[in-house]
Amino acid sequence: MTENREYAMGRSKEETNRLIEQSQLYDRVTRRFLHETGLGAGMKVLDIGSGAGDVALTAAEIVGPSGCVVGVDMNPEILVTARERATALGYAHVEFVAGDASEVELDSDFDLIVGRLVLLYIPQPVDLIRKLVTRLKPGGTVAFQEPALSFYRALTSDETPLLNNMIEWGLGVFEHTGANINMGFDLFGVFTEAGLPAPSLDYHAPMGGPEDWPGYEYLAASFRSLLPLIEKFGLATAEEIDVDTLANRLFKEVNDTKRPLMLPPHITAISRTHS
Ligand SMILES: C[S@@+](CC[C@H](N)C(=O)[O-])C[C@H]1O[C@@H](n2cnc3c(N)ncnc32)[C@H](O)[C@@H]1O
C-alpha cells in the first residue's frame, strides 16, 4: 500500500479545473510522447493516476473504438469528472477505476502503461513499476512523463523577485510533503532498477511571454491549490501571495524584464519490454 503522504495540490473542484488547464498547456508534449510510444489503433492502454482523464482521453482518441483505455486514480471524486468527459466525447472504450495503483486488480494484457505527473507522489516508484510490468503483454511499453522541478531554480534573477518567491514557495510545498520534485531525472534509474530496458528520454518545457499566454493564469491557479499547504508550512501568507492578482503581476514582471517564463519542465521516458 502506498504510504499516506499529504497531497501537495489538494483535491478541490478548482484543482480538477487546473489539471484540465494544465493538460491544454502540455497537450502538444503529451501527444508527441504518446505517438513516440508507438501507440496506435486497437491497442489497450493503462493510465496510472489518470486525474481528470486528459492522458486517458488522448490515448482513447489515438487507439480509437477498436482499442481500449483504463484509467486508475486513487481519488474517486476526480473520476466523476473524467467519466463525464469520456461520455461527452462518446468514448465507450474508456473506463476509470478508483483505487491505489499498487493495489487495484488489473488485466495483464496492456500494450502500453502510461502515467503523467504521478510517480513523483509515489514513495516507492520502483516497486510500483515492477508490479505494473506484470500487467503488460510481452513486448509492451512503459512510458511516464514526470517533472524536473529543480531546474526552475536556474531561472531566478535579481530582476524577478516575484518569480523567485514563487519558485521557493512552490518547491517548498513539494519538498515538505515528500513529493519527488526531480522524478523526471529519476525515471532512468527507476525504470532500469525495476528491470526495464534503458528508456529513451526527452525533455520539454512550454514557454510564454505574450500577455495572452494562458500560462500566467495556470500558474496563479496552481498557487490557489498550493496555498493551504504554503500557509501550513509557514512558507508565505495568503496576503503575500495575493492569488487574485498573481497572474497580472507575473505578466508585468515578464513584460518589464523581457525574460520569458517557463512552465515546469517535464521529462519523458519510454521503455519497450522484450517480446
Ligand atoms: C497531478 S495529478 C495528474 C493527473 C493526470 N495524470 C494528468 O496529467 O492530468 C496526479 C494524480 O495522481 C493520483 N495519484 C497519486 N497517487 C496515486 C496512487 N498511488 N494511485 C492512483 N492514483 C494516484 C492523484 O489522485 C492525482 O489525481
CA 47–ligand 1 middle distance (angstroms):
10
Task: Please indicate, yes or no, if residue 139 is contained in any of the structural domains.
Answer: yes
CA 20–ligand 1 middle distance (angstroms):
13
**148 pLDDT exceeds 50?**
yes
| Ligand 1 atom having least distance to the Cα of 145 | 8
Q: What percent of the chain has pLDDT over 70?
A: 98
pLDDT digits (tens, 9 = 90+) for 225-256: 999 999 999 999 999 999 999 999 999 999 99
- The whole-number pLDDT of residue 12 equals 81
Q: At what angle do helices 215-232 and 243-257 cross, to 10 degrees?
A: 130
- The whole-number pLDDT of residue 18 equals 85
Q: Ligand 1 in contact with 27 (CB < 6 A)?
A: no
Length of the chain: 275
CA 187–ligand 1 middle distance (angstroms):
17
Q: At what angle do helices 13-36 and 76-88 cross, to 10 degrees?
A: 60
Task: Please indicate, yes or no, if residue 6 is contained in any of the structural domains.
Answer: no
Amino acid identity for residue 109 in this structure? D
Task: Please indicate, yes or no, if residue 5 is contained in any of the structural domains.
Answer: no
Task: Please indicate, yes or no, if residue 223 is contained in any of the structural domains.
Answer: yes
pLDDT digits (tens, 9 = 90+) for 65-98: 999 999 999 999 999 999 999 999 999 999 999 9
Q: Ligand 1 in contact with 100 (CB < 6 A)?
A: yes
Cell of 60: 482513447
CA 106–ligand 1 middle distance (angstroms):
17
**132 pLDDT exceeds 80?**
yes
**120 pLDDT exceeds 60?**
yes
As for how many domains the chain has, the answer is 1
Atom 19, ligand 1: which residue's CA is nearest?
100
CA 83–ligand 1 middle distance (angstroms):
15
Task: Kindly report the CATH number assigned to the domain that includes residue 190.
Answer: 3.40.50.150
- The whole-number pLDDT of residue 1 equals 39
Task: Please indicate, yes or no, if residue 182 is contained in any of the structural domains.
Answer: yes
Task: Please indicate, yes or no, if residue 187 is contained in any of the structural domains.
Answer: yes
Cα(165)–Cα(264) distance, rounded to whole angstroms?
15
Cα(251)–Cα(131) distance, rounded to whole angstroms?
44
- The whole-number pLDDT of residue 2 equals 44
Task: Please indicate, yes or no, if residue 3 is contained in any of the structural domains.
Answer: no
**Contacts (Cβ under 8 Å, ≥6 apart) of 206:** 25, 26, 28, 29, 215, 262, 263
Atom 24, ligand 1: which residue's CA is nearest?
49
Cell of 184: 523526471
- The mean pLDDT value of the chain amounts to 94
**23 pLDDT exceeds 60?**
yes
Cα(143)–Cα(197) distance, rounded to whole angstroms?
12
Task: Please indicate, yes or no, if residue 65 is contained in any of the structural domains.
Answer: yes
pLDDT digits (tens, 9 = 90+) for 54-68: 999 999 999 999 999
**5 pLDDT exceeds 70?**
no
Cα(64)–Cα(43) distance, rounded to whole angstroms?
8
Residue 250 structural domain: 13-272
**151 pLDDT exceeds 90?**
no
Q: Are strands 136-147 and 110-116 parallel, antiparallel or unpaired?
A: parallel
Q: Ligand 1 in contact with 215 (CB < 6 A)?
A: no
Choose which residue among 7, 20, 21, 73 to substitute to test ligand 1 binding: the one with the highest number of ligand atoms within 8 A of its C-beta. 73
Rg (CA), the chain: 19
